[in-house]
Amino acid sequence: MTRYSKLAAYFSGTVATALLGAASVVPATAAAPCMGPGAPTTTQTKCLTAIAIPGNPLRSYDISWVNPNRGEYYLADRSNAGIDIIDTTHLTFKRTIGGFVGIKLNAKGGVDNNHSGPDGVTSHSHWVYAGDGDSTLKVIDLFATSNPIKQSISTGGTTRLDEIALTADGRLLFGANNAEDPPFGTLFEANGNDHTSHVRVIIRVTVDPAIMPAGAGLSIEQPAWDQTTKRFYTSIPVIADNPPGCNFGQLAGPVTCHGGVLVTDPHNPKAVEGAFNPATHTGVVKLAACGPNGATVGVDDELMLGCTPGNNPSDTQTTIFSAKTTQSVSVNGITGSDEVYFNAGDRRYYLGASKNPGGAVLGVVDAETKFFIEKVPQSSGSHSVAADSHHNLIFVPQNAPVAVVGTGGDTTAVGAGICGTSNGCVAVYRHNVDEDDADAGDR
């Protein structure tokens, strides 16, 4: 029996339903069936179920992450001012770890992304790391029965610590303060597998102002770690002079500059990074036809970059970038992504394409062939995605309807159909994959 068949059998019938209900620790988390445009029967990626989050309806959330070794999914849930944890084996909600600033509103009553939190989230062993809206890194000990936040470390900014990434051994962490002017990254010493927390700031990293001039609202976004090159790769939505004479925001009218990738050597970090230096394999690589937000490492040290016309209206493709050679190729059929995630189980990229023309979708790209496969409709604003490589499950948060939460809510009926409620949820998708292929992906 394939892994897919085992999973299908596990979640079919009244016995499986009873098991799911018994495993839940909060009554409000009973799984709901998927319905509507977000649950098509013709796609390879099919909606399996939906998991409700107790507390406030989901108006605002940010990045999500899966630790497959612990069988846990983590969501930066601003609506409930905490990190939600879902059991990816039994598909049940476990708990929310609070202590974050939550939703902050702007003068118009909308969500102030620059000061709300939590934002970025990642994990290694029993440690979860999350950026907050007050420019702090929160360090969470999952073994703690009380007071799980063991450290709150300031990066020295006044706006959120956004997306973050860890080395494979969990010893070094890089985080982006995307909303500062100029934006900066922070390299931290992290905990690895240690029993006590000793996280500290190593260095702040900025980009040469000739590449990222102050005053134009430029930012840095999602970092990712490549184990072969031993470098962090951080997406930069827009850089100056790419191409020469372009508008990066210093002029009226649409932005015409493309983005780049910041390459950081954490063992020889620099306070100011300039143009890419092939000798040190560090600095800013210019991209063609891509203004990226998301970044994730896939097969053969290649990165999927979540390009979006929200950064540059002409960037209507998606890019796969080689960490080894810094060369890139374009993928047609999908654009407008924020978080992107590689699933080693089926060797596919999954894209939270909230700014896809025509509406938010979950995009799917084959990492081996680099071909676009399909897109599945999602609630408006659905920009977060993570995958469990052990179970080949894909997790996509859904906004509650605008009629329930106001500005920031789902303006379509897609999310409510997926969730089966008007409170938002985390949708769970699966992809049919042979067990031999899944095991190869894990290796």
Is the C-alpha dihedral spanning 108, 109, 115, 119 positive or negative?
Answer: negative
The separation between CA 117 and the C-alpha centre of its own chain, rounded to angstroms, equals 14
Tokens of 142: 């999952």
What's the one-letter identity of residue 334? I
CA angle 355–358–362, rounded 5-degree value = 60
> Rounded to an integer, what distance in angstroms lies between the CA atom of residue 411 and that of residue 59?
12
Tokens of 375: 């897109």
The pTM of the full predicted model, rounded to 2 decimals, is: 0.91
> Rounded to an integer, what distance in angstroms lies between the CA atom of residue 377 and that of residue 360?
6
How many CA atoms does the CB half-sphere of 190 hold within 13 Å? 31
| H and E: helices and strands count for the chain | 5, 29
Burial class (CB in 10 A: 0-12, 13-18, 19+), 213: middle
> Where in the chain are the domains?
1-99+339-443, 164-333
Q: Read out DSSP for 371-407?
A: -EEEEEE--TT----EEETTTTEEEEEEPPBHHHH-T
> Rounded to an integer, what distance in angstroms lies between the CA atom of residue 13 and that of residue 28?
21
How many CA atoms does the CB half-sphere of 41 hold within 13 Å? 1
3-state secondary structure of 8: helix
Q: 66 near 94, Cβ under 8 Å? A: no
Q: Which residues contact 331 (CB under 8 A, 6 or more apart)?
A: 317, 318, 319, 320, 365, 370, 371, 372
pLDDT computed for residue 432 by the predictor: 74
pLDDT computed for residue 287 by the predictor: 97
Place of tokens 């240690």: 194
Q: Which residues contact 164 (CB under 8 A, 6 or more apart)?
A: 120, 121, 122, 129, 130, 131, 137, 173, 174, 175, 176, 223
Tokens of 344: 């080693």
pLDDT computed for residue 33 by the predictor: 75
pLDDT (tens, 9 = 90+) of the chain, 443 residues, equals 334 334 444 343 333 333 333 333 333 444 557 999 999 999 999 999 999 999 999 999 999 999 999 999 999 999 999 999 999 999 999 999 999 999 999 999 999 999 999 999 999 999 999 999 999 999 999 999 899 999 999 999 999 999 999 999 999 999 999 999 999 999 999 999 999 999 999 999 999 999 999 999 999 999 999 999 999 999 999 999 999 999 999 999 999 999 999 999 999 999 999 999 999 999 999 999 999 999 999 999 999 999 999 999 999 999 999 999 999 999 999 999 999 999 999 999 999 999 999 999 999 999 999 999 999 999 999 999 999 999 999 999 999 999 999 999 999 999 999 999 999 999 999 997 554 444 444 43
